[in-house]
Structure 1
Amino acid sequence: MSNQVFRQNLDDKKGPQPGGPYLIQMLFKEPVDMPDKDEMTAVMKKHIGAVECFCRDKKMAGFAALDHIAEFQDGKCPVQLMVMGCDKFKGKGFDAFLMSQMWDCREDRERIFRECRYQVVATDMLAAALPALERANLDADFVEALAELYPTCEAFYFQNCGKLLLAEYVRSHQIEGSDRFIRFGVNVRFFNIEGTEDMLIDTVGMNTLFLPDLQYHFHSMDPNWVVNHAYNAASYILEHDNPIGDGETIDGIENGRMSREIQWKCQYEDALIQPPRGVVDIHMGDYASGKR
């Protein structure tokens, strides 16, 4: 699949909206029942803290996350976490472009889409009003609660960023804090630019938290180094509420590691590859491609 040629399409407006819902699709081989109210409440409480179940039937369960209050001009209320009943999964909307960037499941993605015929969809509501770090941690807690509640889940698909993860990875990871959101809800993509030696690496998913995605247009460097840099930079932006100003610099890479000796300039631009969104373009000095 990596040899397919894709066209740049910035007219495609289907991209995730800034601050949009954090949509989670859990994929299953067999139909699955909604867990009972007491079990759901206990598992949610274990991962999320104080919760209140305000609805639960075969079609939907809803929980108020009482420690996470969304404040609006005309009042405030707890963020809501919704879990839908099991439904058929037909794999619609998963085109070759999306599939090509599911790097975490390269070996398994086609098998998952072939074998999984059922899904459970879950989402947060009102969470856009939370500070970025608080929402990131809440959404990651929610994912971990769902992984425990649905032991037969095969894979998680995160709609905000196009990332597919095996459920066993979600259950067994050792990541802590907000870096879990970076791992679940931010996808680092990789493209070769046809007819050149140039490569492009970018992120999708940061704008769920109203934070900028990252973009690197470069040549002559190991792309794996740049992928690691992108994850580290995204983590830094989230942890420090985006301290990077237009024209400021960030530590670059030397021999595969981030180094203070090398400074790369950051510039706010529109993304080169869909979905249309704002990005921090990182100019990689001697390795940079294209005109800025």
Structure 2
Amino acid sequence: MFKKLFGNKPKVEDNKNVQENEQLENPTELLMVKLFFKKKPIFNDKLIEEELKKRFEKIEFPNTSEKTENSRHYFFKDYEVKFAEGNIPAQATIFVPDEIKIDYSELITSFRQSWNWQQAEDTVKNCSHEILLTDLMSRNLDYKGRIEYFQKFVVSIVSAMKPSAVWIRNSEVILEPNDFIEKGSQNNCQNINAFMNVRLFNIQESENEMIMDTLGLNSLGLPDFEFRFKTYDPQKIAGLLFNYGHYIFENGVVIEHGNTIEGIEENEKLNCYFNDSQLEPKRIVIEINNGG
């Protein structure tokens, strides 16, 4: 539904007549991906290490004594994280849960909001095993470096282990594995293609009113976007949010409370306000308002 939505570079303008509020920030969150399999996944360390070496120059692999049946831990020395006590490499883990059971209840929203893969729900429900991938000790990295190294890691594991489906927990989207590899690999894995989703919800108490948002920028400490509307074409609003989400990722938080941005219609200006989100998960969003 929301696949071909790229437009021109968004325009942001100051509105000096609007009183500025304190610009709030989202706390960074653990980056988390689940891979789903129809059969029990088996660690092929040789293949995993070959894929990682394609994307990283300096990696510390777990030695034989550190390897267990259900986990792996990697150190990426290309990405140094600075702490007051000293610097350490960014890290990532693979973890296989002891319990062989997929919790479909946590995927309900993702089943409904994975617009680019209509077979997502059926595919995942035909799976019986999962593994969990997370970053570690990397929240102090610049957000672009953080998403770059973690996506390199996930793309490597997906390429090596060939799951049936990929769930990005931070953006609540389920992707077909090859689609994830294509999206995640762009721009040397420094992109927000998979870790930001555009969602659509109907507002039950208000006829014909809808609300759309982005989800995933918040995990990197950036604001998401949210827009409540009645008369607009949802496809066009999806494109608007998608483009502004990428704009924030590329340029940082350059939109300020009270700025106006270019809208859908010719010469249309939309107001932007930092606010608490109306939708779950609760976070700071840039609320877009057409003044109606």
Pair in the same fold by TM > 0.5? yes
How far did 1:179 drift? 7.9
Q: From 18, 24, 45, give the equivalent of 2:53.
A: 45
Distance 2:280 2:151 in 1: 25
C-alpha change, 1:284 and 1:197, in structure 2 (3 Å) is: same
* Stretch of structure 1 that moved more, 163-172 or 48-57: 48-57
Distance 2:151 2:31 in 1: 10
Query: How many residues are aligned here?
Result: 262
Matched, 1:120 2:131: yes
How far did 1:48 drift? 3.3
Counterpart of 1:43, as a letter, is E
Give yes or no for contact 2:73–2:94 (8 Å, CA) kept in 1: yes
Unaligned runs of 5+ in 1: 1-16
Q: 1:21 is matched with which residue? A: 30
Alignment of 1:1-292 (within 5 A): 18-36=27-45, 38-54=46-62, 55-85=66-96, 88-94=100-106, 96-105=108-117, 107-151=118-162, 153-173=163-183, 176-177=186-187, 181-194=191-204, 195-254=206-265, 261-285=267-291, 288=292
| Partner SS, residue 183 of structure 1 | coil
How far did 1:273 drift? 1.2
Normalised TM-score (structure 2): 0.82
Unaligned runs of 5+ in 2: 1-25
* Stretch of structure 1 that moved more, 140-149 or 83-92: 83-92
| Partner SS, residue 61 of structure 1 | strand
Identity value in percent: 24
Q: Which has the larger share of strand?
A: 1
| Partner SS, residue 185 of structure 1 | coil
How far did 1:104 drift? 2.9
Counterpart of 2:272, as a letter, is C
Distance 1:51 1:116 in 2: 31
How far did 1:180 drift? 6.4
Q: Deviations over 1:86-114 (max 9, x none)?
A: 76232243264443223233x21331232
